[in-house]
Amino acid sequence: MRTLIAITPYLLPLATLAIVSTPSVAAPVLEWQESYDGGGLDLDVATAATTDSDGNLVIAGQSSDGIRGIDMLVRKLDRETGDPIWSRRISAEGAEENNLAVGGIVSDGAGNFLVGGTREGCYG
């Protein structure tokens, strides 16, 4: 059995994901891990995850480049290697002091993903 372990220390510069095999008899074995730095060695944290129909991981969270507010980040990773398949960064348009926070992610089974969350900061 394969288990996703998301190691996302809040306020540390890298969000790290690891896939671990957990055979029923043997000790867990690290298969791969993937780290992400959005720039500026600032906040990067995974807060939600799902899989696509092929078993690839789709991870959503917050990422900061150290210049503007905190953005939503969604990344699709290959299930076998952890290599990025695609990445999408979502910013609060016209509001550089605002932060976006991911609340969750779901798949519709047809290859589309819905990410929900909140906007924090100054309005007006």
Query: Which pTM was predicted?
Result: 0.75
**CA–CA distances in Å: residue 37 to residues 14, 16, 41:** 5, 9, 6
pLDDT(85) > 90:
yes
Alpha carbon distance 84, 22 (integer Å): 23
Of the listed ranges 7-16, 18-27, 58-67, 96-105, the least confidently predicted one is 7-16
pLDDT digits (tens, 9 = 90+) for 21-63: 556 666 777 777 777 887 766 778 888 888 898 988 898 988 8
Tell me the chain's radius of gyration from C-alpha atoms.
15
Cβ partners under 8 Å of residue 100, min gap 6: 62, 69, 70, 71, 72, 90, 91, 92, 117, 118, 119, 120
